[in-house]
Amino acid sequence: MKRKTTSLFLGICLVLVAGATSPAFARSTTAYNSFKVWMADKGQFKATYSCLTESFGAVVNQCAFPVSLLFDVPVDTEGSHSFTVQNYFDGSDADNTFTCQAYAYNGVGGIVNGDTISFTTPGQSLSATVTVAGASSAQLICKDIPEGGGVANINWNP
């Protein structure tokens, strides 16, 4: 019995130590895994999905027009949440010049605008923060991504 109690105690200690040393960002996703087209013209909607491609997890705009993308970023608690976004690592500065903004929604018409981040060169890693109230949700919208540009990765604290 003593051996089982000791093993259980050591297991609980291991879980506590692992939780105490967890990284600041507990969630991460590739952009291609989590995007939806946002506010596309009805005539371009199907065409938009067919010209968005994947490159090492990044969603890349290969359309002949700028696209806006929405990313689902689930949060578990109320309070301040930080989202670190990495834009596409290839292409020119012009291809990778666009903005992303964090938002919180309460489900009954209320919105909280979070920080806006502005990408100007390929391969940047920038952070936006938004305050989420109880029973609210969050999302990240990247607007007017030019042809050849894209979003690679998103990390956040849930």
Specify if 104 maps to a domain.
yes
CATH (domain of 73): 2.60.120
Specify if 82 maps to a domain.
yes
Specify if 17 maps to a domain.
no
The pLDDT, as a whole number, for residue 41 is 64
The pLDDT, as a whole number, for residue 115 is 98
Burial of residue 137 (number of CB atoms within 10 Å: 0-12, 13-18, 19+): middle
The pLDDT, as a whole number, for residue 78 is 94
Q: How many CB atoms lie within 10 A of CB 140?
A: 25
Residues of the chain with pLDDT under 70: 1-25, 40-46
**Contact call for residues 106 and 135 (beta carbons, < 8 A):** yes
The pLDDT, as a whole number, for residue 136 is 93
pTM attached to this predicted model: 0.81
**Contact call for residues 153 and 100 (beta carbons, < 8 A):** no
The rounded distance, in Å, linking the Cα atoms of 60 and 50 is: 11
**Contact call for residues 34 and 141 (beta carbons, < 8 A):** no
- Please tell me whether residue 32 adopts helix, strand or coil conformation: helix
Residue 113 domain boundaries: 24-156
Specify if 33 maps to a domain.
yes
CA–CA distances in Å: residue 117 to residues 16, 61, 114, 151: 35, 19, 10, 13
Specify if 122 maps to a domain.
yes
Specify if 148 maps to a domain.
yes
Specify if 16 maps to a domain.
no
User: What digits encode the pLDDT tens for the residues 114-127?
Assistant: 999 999 999 999 99
Tally of structural domains, the chain: 1
Specify if 3 maps to a domain.
no
